[in-house]
Amino acid sequence: MSLSLGLHAGRAGRPTPSTRTPSTRTVRATALRAVATLAAAATLGACANSLVPDLNSTSIGGFQSAPTGAAAGAIALGLVRGARDNTAAMVWNVGAFGREGYEMGVAQGDLTLYVNGPVNPGTFYLSGELWNQQYADIRAGNTVLDALARIPDLTPAQKAGMAGFIQTMEAFDFLQLAATRDTFGLPIAVDITPGGAPAPIADKATVYQHILNLLDSGQVNLQNGGAAFSFRLPAGFTGFDTPPTFLRVNRGLRARADILTQNFSSALADLAASFLDPGQPLTFGPRFEYSANSGDETNVLFKPYYYAANWIHDSAQLQVDGRTLDQRVLTKLVAVAPFTLDKILANYQFTMYSSVSAPVPMLRNEELILLRAEANLGLNQPAAAVTDINFVRATSGNLPPIANPYTPNPALHQPPTLLDELLYEKRYSLLWESGNNWISMRQYGKLNEIPKQTAGERIFPVLPFPLNDCTARSPQPSGCVTVTGF
């Protein structure tokens, strides 16, 4: 099933460093203009070869004055397409900040902006790839939520199911935004009149509480959403495409937020209600799919210029024979001819995205198991944490078990503490999927432990707001600064 009915009209590539992007206010207006055309788009059905309509040419007035279930469902599918694009952008942008890997396309000419900086509000990737699209999707979702009561051709259960799905996807967008801006906070009250004053900046604690509130409200709506959605989700959501089954995704995302706010008891409760299951494959979970079909998009991560950071290979633990590297490294990386760009040497490329149609995970079983280990470690329950860690080590890495109490084996390259061991497992299990290494290392005050390859490199602890959003505000908030890193 194609995602050609979504909000984005085929955002096929990344902007060049010179691209200027609109402010959050402008993005909200753009999203509003785009939404109305989705009612017409919905009539195209779910065919993989449907042509993409012009999603930016019609006023939103038609949708607001006469909203329909078909149009609302098309917008919901648009949120999936938007999240797919946004997640790919998180992989290569945030993955570079955590030194998982680099986009080393010579034509881009911007590698130093990721590894040397400084990062100021005018840096190109702050808006188009890590701000505007998430807010456009959130605004589009809010448009549906605001209109649900007036949609005549949906039952109460169908309305509840749609609301729960949209709130969960909005929380997913906010989690990505919060990961990049962290202590700077975010605008969250964005359901306002386009062209008005920008939404105020909420602090980090308020942002995460908003995310939790969205997920909890989504939980209630999904519980009241009946047995089926009024719209059909793409194939990557098979097994999670009804309100009861998508509720397990909602709880898994809440567990991710719990861990980031160090609410470990709540994380265990949410994980118990998620799709965490050691009996399922570690890849089990919803995923964003791509295709070469007309109207769809190919996986932008399937490119020859994405290279793994050398330290990822060189720091891998050894299997029990003391020679063979962690199986995750053997599976996810391949040695290539050495390539140097801007003094960064790369000897390995990623192999996880092996074709134009290779999927990207949204959330999967392996992460949930490691989140449970992290929650138990945070609650000073190391035995339970070690059980889950060893399961992942054996199943995913083919590594020998660790003991409780933890005693590292330097001969196998094991790190000094159990927390370091957990972060190692997250690094290699979630490599090049979500920007995990930067996010997790920052959470535990370990960004300074990320290796650098050149003297000029700097690690950035947080990203500033985009320039156009800053210039729209007076006085400018603390997020409108240059981040030099360390």
> Are 62 and 206 in a shared domain?
yes
> Are 408 and 446 in a shared domain?
yes
Give the dihedral of Cα atoms 135, 136, 142, 146; nearest 10 deg. Answer: 140
Q: How high is the pLDDT of residue 197?
A: 87
Q: How high is the pLDDT of residue 193?
A: 76
Q: Tell me the mean pLDDT in the region 356-376.
A: 98
Q: How high is the pLDDT of residue 61?
A: 58
> Are 88 and 141 in a shared domain?
yes
Q: Which structural domain range is residue 411 located in?
A: 24-291+361-471
Q: Tell me the mean pLDDT in the region 269-293.
A: 98
> Are 335 and 374 in a shared domain?
no
Q: Going by C-beta distance under 8 Å and a sequence separation of 6 or more, which residues neighbour residue 317?
A: 325, 326, 397, 399, 412, 413, 414, 424
C-alpha count within 13 angstroms, C-beta hemisphere, residue 451: 11
Q: How high is the pLDDT of residue 318?
A: 98
Candidate from 52-66, 286-300, 448-462 with smallest mean pLDDT: 52-66
Q: List, for residues 390-438, the tens digit of each pLDDT value.
A: 999 999 999 999 999 999 999 999 999 999 999 999 999 999 999 999 9
> Are 193 and 247 in a shared domain?
yes
| Residue where one domain finishes, among candidates 360, 386, 401 | 360
- Alpha helices for 11-155 (secondary structure H): 24-35, 37-42, 61-65, 69-97, 111-115, 125-128, 132-147
Helix (H) or strand (E) holding 339: strand 333-341
| Residue where one domain finishes, among candidates 338, 360, 382 | 360
In a domain, 482, yes or no: no
> Are 82 and 222 in a shared domain?
yes
> Are 439 and 332 in a shared domain?
no
Q: Among all chains, which residue has been given the structure tokens 């392996």?
A: 366
Q: List, for residues 141-151, the tens digit of each pLDDT value.
A: 999 999 999 99
Q: Which tops the pLDDT comparison, 459 or 35?
A: 459
Look at residue 452 and tell me whether its pLDDT is greater than 60.
Answer: yes
Number of domains composing the chain: 2
> Are 204 and 339 in a shared domain?
no
> Amino acid identity of 22?
P
In a domain, 104, yes or no: yes
Distance CA 442, CA 432 (A): 17
Q: Which of 98, 256, 259, 113 is nearest to 176 (CA)?
A: 256
Q: How high is the pLDDT of residue 301?
A: 97
Distance CA 179, CA 477 (A): 18
Q: How high is the pLDDT of residue 191?
A: 82
Instruction: Tell me the C-alpha to C-alpha distance, in Å, between residue 145 and each of 6, 24, 67, 272, 404.
Output: 17, 20, 11, 29, 49
Look at residue 378 and tell me whether its pLDDT is greater than 90.
Answer: yes
| Radius of gyration of the chain from its Cα atoms, rounded to whole angstroms | 22
Q: How high is the pLDDT of residue 59?
A: 41
Q: How high is the pLDDT of residue 319?
A: 97
> Are 320 and 427 in a shared domain?
no
In a domain, 401, yes or no: yes
> Are 347 and 410 in a shared domain?
no
> Are 236 and 170 in a shared domain?
yes
Q: Among all chains, which residue has been given the structure tokens 């909200």?
A: 28
Q: How high is the pLDDT of residue 192?
A: 79
CB atoms within 10 A of CB 195: 9
The interaxial angle of helices 204-223 and 243-260, nearest 10 deg, is 160
Q: Which tops the pLDDT comparison, 275 or 37?
A: 275
CATH number, domain with residue 176: 1.25.40.390
In a domain, 13, yes or no: no
In a domain, 19, yes or no: no
Q: How high is the pLDDT of residue 419?
A: 98
Helix (H) or strand (E) holding 349: strand 344-350
Q: Tell me the mean pLDDT in the region 94-102.
A: 98
In a domain, 156, yes or no: yes
Q: Tell me the mean pLDDT in the region 259-276.
A: 98
Q: How high is the pLDDT of residue 457?
A: 97
In a domain, 7, yes or no: no
> Are 135 and 56 in a shared domain?
yes
What beta strand segments (E) does 194-321 contain? 201-202, 287-288, 306-308
Q: Which tops the pLDDT comparison, 195 or 407?
A: 407
Candidate from 33-42, 375-384, 448-457 with smallest mean pLDDT: 33-42
Q: How high is the pLDDT of residue 109?
A: 83
Look at residue 199 and tell me whether its pLDDT is greater than 80.
Answer: yes
Q: How high is the pLDDT of residue 327?
A: 98
Candidate from 71-75, 158-162, 372-376 with smallest mean pLDDT: 71-75
In a domain, 341, yes or no: yes
Percent of the chain with pLDDT over 90: 83
Contact 66, 26 (CB under 8 A): no
**What is the rounded end-to-end Cα distance, in angstroms, of the chain?**
46
Look at residue 231 and tell me whether its pLDDT is greater than 90.
Answer: yes
- At residue 196 the predicted structure's pLDDT band, cuts being 50, 70 and 90, is confident
Q: How high is the pLDDT of residue 60?
A: 55
Instruction: Tell me the C-alpha to C-alpha distance, in Å, between residue 470 and each of 129, 184, 418.
Output: 17, 13, 41
Candidate from 31-35, 170-174, 187-191, 430-434 with smallest mean pLDDT: 31-35
Q: Which of 109, 84, 90 is nearest to 3 (CA)?
A: 84
- Enumerate the β-bridge partners of residue 341: 344
